[in-house]
Structure 1
Amino acid sequence: MTDSSDIRFLLAIQQNGSLIAAARKLGLTPSAVSQRLQQLEKKLGTRLVDRTARKLIFTEEGTLLCQRGSELIEQFDTLMEDLRVRHAGLVGTLKVNAPLGFGRRHLAPVIADFQQQNPDVDVALTLSDQPLTEAADRFDVVVHIGELRASNLVGHAIAPNARWVCASPAFVKRFGQPEAPDDLTRLPCIVLRENNEDVSLWHFSRGKTSRSVRVASKLSCNDGDVIHRWACEGRGIILRSEWDVADAIRQGTLVRLLPAWRAPDANVIALTHNRSGLPRRTRDFMQYLQARFRPLPPWRT
């Protein structure tokens, strides 16, 4: 019969890809790792890993033990943490990934306040222009804006967020107001590159009518703050989230275009690996995050 330390040992080999890398991670010698693996296989009466000169190949039994074992380890760790929390409050490390602009402006203050209220929780925030393409298993929470493609992650609603076509007053004075989405194909536009999406194909609807247009963009960037600034400078039209442009529209530095046409919403959601069995710190952070954006998010107040 094996125990949790044996499962953690085998998972370390799988996650690091080689006995040498696993040895470094575990603080052991490669020979000690190899010997322990042999002892584990002997105890279970089955081969778990086929070792070749170039790589390790997990057998079906080894793969099954890692898959089911990782679930058991997660449940065990969650149970132990919940017991500690009952005695001492929230503890541990919370890893969060989020888009660059939204993370800077709206998420960073929330995280700082949450950590201040829970001083025994360490929060590691990573900002990225492609949060969904990174190794999601490295994070407890991934904040995403917009439609979620097929994913094994669980989505939690955070806040509503529309998308608007905008330009500066000077740009509108120079080029005029577009009257329909097709007009955008003849005007300079600026696009935001993120999540490997087809960013120059813009979709609109009005009632039962749908329209998709391919815009011409001489300027593009992976940072929303940059394209926002370019638009304010009159360099082109942007299709941007409400959370980013609502203040600029109220202040008059940007003007909303095509108000009768609706672009697909890009609601803010938070993604976790499971709906149940989450560590207490993750559950409490999710509730705190949702509460901070209700009843109305800051861009609608």
Structure 2
Amino acid sequence: MSRYNDLELFTCIVRKNSLVGAGRELGITGAAVSKRLMALEERLGVRLVQRTTRTLRITPEGERYLQEGKRLLSELDELEQTLRGVTARPAGLLRVNASLGFGRAFVSALLGEFAANYPELEVQLHLSDRPLNLVEEGYDIGIRVGELQDTRLHARKLRSNRRCICAAPAYLDKFGTPANLNELSAHSVIVLHENEQTFGTWHLQNEGRRETLKVRARMSTNDGETALAWALSGFGLLLRSEWSVQNLLADGSLRPVLPEWYEPADVYAVYPNQDHLSAKTRAFIDFIAAHPVIAG
């Protein structure tokens, strides 16, 4: 049997959660399924499924084999459709990594809307406070905010964005509003520590000028919502993305501080391979880039 036959066998076993059920679907006996599964595990040198008389439980190694296997089967099916001249529709497993804040605010809803358009598609969204290695972790797409660190990845800009300095009126009324960058050192700052950025460092620019500042962090967190709540409570200055604070600035809950200074933080879709993008990956990137919520 080919390795792709082994993948199809294993995905069927997991889907049916039964050796007999998998055999029934594949047109072979449960004993034959068991024999092929044991041969597969022996070849791989790992246990894929823990078996008892009543239940099947997939192991961590089995879960990894399943997820990567689904991807390979989907790509093979897509290749065959392309060679037959059939337009490939998004199908299989789409794995997306995004930042906590932007992922919650935008990506989760957009991914759900996208999945609703393609019933054959499965989606997984992993939100993290720092970008994951897409290749090693097996992700199709990463949604990144700010400077891109991994130059090996291909990127498509989704929207312009900048981080601006702001604070609650209560804080500014009590401690004053900084008139220039030098006065920032006298203020308490709430630091949002994410990605691989140097802690407590702001990289600001104003037209052609660039300044790197070390700020005094009174409070810090890796969660943007927590940082924003502290700022609204008057604990200090906060550097936060415009998409996160624009409504709060508009209604006066926050005030801008040194609005001419900002940190660039454009939003990108990043992916490992530009030449052989799957239909699901290409379709989702096109969908999210054109969506009015992102494109404005």
Please report the TM-score for the alignment, with normalisation by the length of structure 1.
Answer: 0.71
Partner of 1:121: 121
Describe how 1:93-172 pairs up with structure 2 within 5 A. 93-132=93-132, 137-172=137-172
Q: Which runs of 5+ in 2 are unaligned?
A: 8-35, 46-71
> Structure 1 counterpart of 2:170, which letter?
A
**1:78 Cα deviation after fit:** 4.3
1:284 deviates by 0.6
Q: Report the alpha carbon displacement of residue 216 of structure 1 after superposing the two structures with TM.
A: 0.6
| CA distance, structure 1, for counterparts of residue 114 and residue 129 of structure 2 | 24
For residues 6-33 of structure 1, the C-alpha deviation after alignment (integer angstroms, 9 at most, x for no partner) is: 9x99xxxxxxxxxxxxxxxx94358842
The AA in structure 2 aligned to 1:33 is R
Rounded to whole Å, the distance in 2 between the matches of 1:31 and 1:246 is: 54
| Residue of structure 2 equivalent to 1:264 | 263
- Paired position in structure 2 for 1:28: 38
Change (3 A) 1:184 1:90: same
Deviates more, 1:97-106 or 1:77-86: 77-86
Shift of 1:254: 0.8
> 1:165-222: CA deviations, max 9, x gaps?
0100111101111011121111000111111211311122334433222111121111
Letter in 1 for 2:225: D
The corresponding residue for 1:191 is 191
CA distance in 2, matches of 1:85, 1:222: 48
Aligned counterpart, 1:248: 248
CA 1:141–1:167: 2 relative to 1, 3 Å: same
Q: Quote the Cα distance in structure 2 between the aligned partners of 1:205 and 1:112.
A: 36
Label 1:247 to 1:85 Cα distance change in 2 as closer, same or farther (>3 A). Answer: farther
Identical aligned residues as a percent: 32
Residue of 3, 6, 9 corresponding to 1:5: 3
CA shift digits 1:20-71 (9 cap, x unpaired) = xxxxxx9435884289xxxxxxxxxxxxxxxxxxxxxxxxxxxxxxxxxxxx
State the match for 1:290 in structure 2: 289
Q: Is contact 1:163-1:264 (8 Å) kept?
A: yes
**Matched letter for residue 3 of structure 2:** S
Q: Distance in 2 between matches of 1:74 and 1:173?
A: 59
Is the CA contact 1:101–1:224 (under 8 Å) kept in the aligned structure 2? yes
Q: Match of 1:274?
A: 273
Query: Which stretch of the first structure deviates more once superposed, 177-186 or 222-231?
Result: 177-186
When residues 78 and 4 of structure 1 are mapped into structure 2, their CA distance, relative to the original with a 3 A threshold, is farther
Q: Is the 8 A contact 2:134 2:141 kept in 1?
A: no
The 1:282–1:82 alpha-carbon spacing in structure 2 relative to 1, beyond 3 Å, is: farther
1:243 is paired with a residue of what secondary structure?
helix
Do 2:165 and 2:256's aligned partners in 1 also have CA atoms closer than 8 Å? yes
CA contact (8 A) 1:90 1:118 kept: yes
1:64-83 pair list within 5 angstroms: 76=76, 78-80=78-80, 82=82
Which one-letter code corresponds to 2:199 in the other structure?
V
Tell me the number of residue pairs that the alignment of Structure 1 and Structure 2 aligns.
Answer: 241
- Kept in 2: contact 1:75–1:277 (CA 8 A): no
TM-score by length of 2: 0.72
Superposed CA deviations along residues 57-98 of structure 1, whole A, max 9, x for unmatched, are xxxxxxxxxxxxxxx999756413646993784321100010
Give the 3-state SS of the residue equivalent to 1:93 in structure 2.
strand
The gaps in structure 1 that reach 5 residues or longer are 10-25, 36-71
Report the secondary structure of 2:43's partner residue. helix
1:269 partner amino acid: Y
Report the Cα distance in structure 1 between the residues aligned to 2:249 and 2:136, rounded to whole angstroms: 35
Tell me the distance in 1 between the aligned counterparts of 2:175 and 2:85. Answer: 60
Question: How far off is 1:161 after superposition?
Answer: 0.5
Q: Aligned partners of 1:74 and 1:98: how far apart in 2?
A: 23
For residues 93 and 83 of structure 1, do their structure 2 counterparts lie closer, same or farther at Cα, with a shift above 3 Å needed? Answer: farther
8 Å contact kept, 2:204–2:210: yes
Which deviates further from its counterpart, 243-252 or 84-93? 84-93
Deviations 1:272-293 (A, max 9, x none): 1111211111111110010115
